[in-house]
Structure 1
Amino acid sequence: MLTTPSEISREDLGLNPELIRKYNQPAPRYTSYPTALKFKTVEDRSSRSALLADLEDAEGPLSLYIHVPYCRSLCWFCGCAKIISTNTALADKYLDYLEIEIERYASLVRSDRKVVQLHFGGGSPNFLSVSQINRLSRMLRRAFTFDEDAEISVELDPRTLSQAQVQAFVELGINRASIGVQDVNAKVQKAIHRIQPTETNAKTISWLREAGIGSLNVDLIYGLPHQTEESFKDTLEEVLTYDPDRLAVFSYAHVPWSKPAQKILERSPLPDADSKIEILIQTVEKLTGQGYAHIGMDHFAKLDDPMVKAQQARTLQRNFQGYSLHADVDICAFGMSSISQSQNAFRQNHKDLDTYYSMLDEGFIPLEKGYLLTRDDQVRREVIMRLMCDLELNFGERGKANGIDFDNYFAAEIEELKPLEEDGLLAFNDAGLAVTPLGRLLIRNVACRFDAYMGKGAQGFSKAI
């Protein structure tokens, strides 16, 4: 069983400016392998059929994802696929088409497959009114059979949430909730166009706790305008009073070439890489000193959380929804831009809403892109996921699981990992390798050594720090 360090200090990490510059390079977050940048446009009916055949033939449990693209206002840092509007009536038409897509997808899936996980993301799922939430619940329950212990989670924007919406989500079956806080500093909030007073967060958490939500996650972002080590310390102190079960502390990815609104943030001073790493080190020290385990990269959870137990048992998973407790599930994703995943294929819906609608009008699953995995992709996907989740690799076990001689198959990759050992990101051992506390922060840099496509360019990815 993997041992999770209960407390990580600055000395354990051993980061220095030279090391920061060396590893602060573009790298995938590996919510999939290959990454979405390798997906290919669906050109014809035969390629569409090939992508869907993998779903039709499969057995086992399902994980559902519903993308609600609407937000009432634009946060200037946001990199999500979203539509800004205050008109909730727009969601009625969206639900009309979502229902068509869900029914069409469900007709391809074996009826005995149970849903063990459902996640609502966006955008902002609480853009939906109470009646729209209830309608969405009915259409999902009508199309799929849910396991009685299914994990059902939702992302919420506290600024626009009502207690009635919380109750509607609870009636839908929600047992986990994630709220975006990002930063509690008023100056930072103004700079990112997201004013969210402490009272708003407290009210949301109170509603969720009173409604019996058993698990609460808080999202924070470091690297935003005006953030300093001292200001983010205050944010951490306040957020810890919320007593979240999990925290996701994301590095802000500044990609204005693909998200033009981010250009606005350049009007204010952005922390440099050295400042960001100081904030991150402080965060790791603070949270691991307050009873949270560092799962890896940017995720933390209480020591008794199922996510920590899954990591220790080496059953933790990683997919487009981030870290997950559910293995061997196919992801069926609905709505514009959403990505589905099965054993041999990835399928991505159109990102343009009008095209998404027209494809459904024409009788199709609204796929824009997809990817059929090769045998090498499948081997590397499994190795990268286990590395991202377990923070160690047993070469013999991984070789046996994939029917390969691991040392021979990955001889070049093992050689490429040796400089990372010298820099303190990992340590080789008799079984294979183990990631160090420093390597947990830079796990993307470790994992990308097993990526067959990284040598062909890393454009399009955010930097590791």
Structure 2
Amino acid sequence: MRRLAERYATPVPRYTSYPTAPNFGPTVGAREAAQWIALLPDDAHLSLYMHIPFCRALCWYCGCATTVVNGHQPIASYVETLATEMARVAELVPPRHSVSHIHWGGGSPNSLTADEIKALAIRTRELFRIDPAAEFAVEIDPRFMDTGRVAALQEAGVNRISIGVQDFDPKVQAAINRHQPYDKTRQVVSDLRGAGLTSLNIDLVYGLPGQTQNSVARTVDLVLALNPDRIAVFGYAHLPDKIRHQRLIDTAALAGPTERLGQANRIARILLANGYVRVGLDHFAKPGDPMAHAAVKRNFQGYTTDVADALIGFGASAISRFPQGYTQNAPRTPDYQNRIAERGLATVRGLALSEDDRIRAYVIERLMCDLTFSEGDLRTQFGTKAESLIEEARALPEADQDGLIASTSDGFHVTERGRPFVRSICACFDTYYDQSAGRHAAGV
């Protein structure tokens, strides 16, 4: 595995979309976004994403589009802009639509006050038709939670909480500027469950400065005591050329590919031994959780059971996915707010999908989710248009000298040996793939 870790450490995309966001361009803008929204089916099922780009403190490892502000006024102003953007989109969506999934991400959505949390949720329900069974998920930073915000989330109708942990080792926390006592996290979990918010996810990160296989094992033991339904285990993406605050991290304290792989495998072994089911590359779920037995997809929030026809993103830097392609809002908050005020939409870039893009996107998603390539499934989805890609795929098992994939009667599947390197396997189908330094995170 040491040899494999070194070989497949080459930077590759995370494949939360295909083509990936670095390939978006200015040929798609607000006009295309408005057209694509209006062309959705009359009874479209929608997923809504709200990006809250604010945090109370800056974590040096973070790659999200976020900022720390002095005072609350910029956040209050931003919430008003979000409401304006939602109103504009609501004018365009088909009247018979239904929303099956809502996700607030960031940054830290709990940088909003309790009143703002409730008001934003109320406005969303006023503007869109929310399915009574819709999942409403919110990411939180437990360091800055209080009972008022917990009550507000419950009143807003939230039914899934994603809790950022990353690591509980104080030395690792100091190295990434994220001081998060375990007792504080445990108390927030207790408060959430006491308010009826019982569906909990926890996010972990390996490959952070100072982490070891033993230290991540201790963190996982503490997380297991919190009894979450889902656990996401992400590899730290060190891109200091692209993300300036990551330059504050001591590069010498970062693990190499072999140690990173060892940390990921150690975490996986512990979670599997404690009854969690592995989903795709880096998610784990309890056997009774929908993610453990439903068909999963992959979007910009990672793995999901969301099967909506379109994902509409609101806020600075937010990405939307439509049948025709992807759109992305202006990344800087002032530019985003100015564009909403002037035009109602803030799209500045995107990508219109070709038929070849759609076929490759489907293949990459199924590999990331199911670890399989099926010729029959591909023909069912795309007919004879898939034949060229099928010929490409047939060459992979013969070229594989590392035991990463195994032939089947209908294609191939990724082996357990190959699972950690599935992104590199997906890259074989990526016609946009660019190994440039600083563009993507290491493949291990």
TM-score by length of 2: 0.96
Task: Return closer, same or farther for 1:392/1:457 CA change in 2, 3 Å cut-off.
Answer: same
| 8 Å Cα contact 1:25-1:463 kept in structure 2 | yes
8 Å CA contact 1:396–1:406 kept in 2: the answer is no
Q: Show the counterpart of 2:351.
A: 371
**Paired residue for 1:21?**
6
Q: Is the 8 A contact 1:318 1:389 kept in 2?
A: yes
1:399–1:300 distance in 2 versus 1, CA, 3 Å: same
- Residue 69 of structure 1 corresponds to 53
> Aligned equivalents of 2:92 and 2:258: distance in 1?
50
Equivalent of 1:403 in 360, 383, 390: 383
Q: Which moved more, 1:383-392 or 1:184-193?
A: 383-392
Residue 453 of structure 1 corresponds to 432
* Equivalences for residues 9-408 of structure 1 within 5 A: 16-42=1-27, 48-59=30-41, 60-266=44-250, 269-310=253-294, 315-404=295-384, 406-408=386-388
- Distance change (3 Å), C-alpha of 1:455 and 1:320: closer
How much does 1:329 deviate? 2.3
SS of corresponding position for 1:217:
strand
User: Structure 1, residues 344-393: CA drift from partner, whole Å, max 9, x if none?
Assistant: 12110001111111111212411111111111111111111122112112
**AA aligned opposite 1:374:** S
Contact 1:42 1:48 in 2 (8 A): no
Whole-Å Cα distance in 2 between the matches of residues 319 and 365 of structure 1? 22
C-alpha contact 1:155 1:177 (8 A) present in aligned 2: yes
Query: Cα gap change, 1:48/1:418 in structure 2, threshold over 3 Å: closer, same or farther?
Result: farther
**Matching residue's letter, 1:454:** Y
Alpha-carbon deviation of 1:405? 6.1
What is the CA–CA distance in structure 1 between the aligned matches of 2:438 and 2:245, rounded to whole Å?
20
Query: 3-state DSSP class of the match of 2:34?
Result: helix
C-alpha separation in 2, matches of 1:254 and 1:459 = 8
More off after superposition, 410-419 vs 362-371: 410-419
| Greater than 6 Å deviation, 4+ residue runs | none
Distance in 1 of aligned mates of 2:176 and 2:259: 18
| Change beyond 3 A, Cα 1:108–1:187 | same
Question: Matches of 1:103 and 1:390 in 2, distance apart?
Answer: 37
Gap change, CA 1:366 and 1:411, over 3 Å in 2? same
Secondary structure at 1:404 match in 2: helix
Change (3 A) 1:456 1:372: farther
Post-superposition CA distance 1:253-308 (Å, at most 9, x none): 11001111111111661112111111111111111111011112211111221111
In structure 2, what is the Cα distance between the partners aligned to 1:335 and 1:169? Answer: 20
Q: Does 1:444 align with 2:429?
A: no
Residue type of the partner of 2:31?
Answer: S
Q: Which runs of 5+ in 2 are unaligned?
A: none
- Give the distance between the partners of 1:447 and 1:83, measured in 2 at CA: 32
Q: 1:140, 1:181 → 2: CA distance?
A: 28
Q: Which stretch of the first structure deviates more once superposed, 405-414 or 124-133?
A: 405-414
Contact 2:54 2:108 in 1 (8 A): yes
C-alpha separation in 2, matches of 1:66 and 1:246: 21
Is the Cα–Cα contact under 8 Å of residues 72 and 85 in structure 1 kept in the other structure? yes
- Count of residue pairs the alignment pairs up: 442
TM (norm. structure 1) is 0.92
Deviation of 1:161 (Å): 0.5
**Secondary structure, aligned partner of 1:121:** strand
Secondary structure in 1 aligned to 2:253?
coil
Q: What SS does structure 2 have at the residue aligned with 1:359? A: helix
Aligned 8 A contact 1:151 1:176 in 2: yes
Q: Which amino acid aligns with 1:367?
A: T
Counterpart residue identity of residue 152, structure 1: F
Against the structure 1 CA distance between its residues 339 and 417, is the aligned structure 2 distance closer, same or farther, given a 3 Å change threshold? Answer: farther
Q: CA RMSD in A?
A: 1.7
CA shift for structure 1 position 440: 2.3
Query: Amino acid of the residue matched to residue 37 of structure 1?
Result: P
Corresponding residue for 1:9? none
> Does residue 433 of structure 2 align to residue 463 of structure 1?
no
Residues 130-177 of structure 1: per-residue CA shift (max 9 Å, x gap):
111111112111110100000000001010001110110111111111
Q: Deviations over 1:178-219 (max 9, x none)?
A: 111111111111111111111111011101111112311111
Distance 1:37 1:297 in 2: 22
Distance in 2 (alpha carbons) for counterparts of 1:392 and 1:430:
12
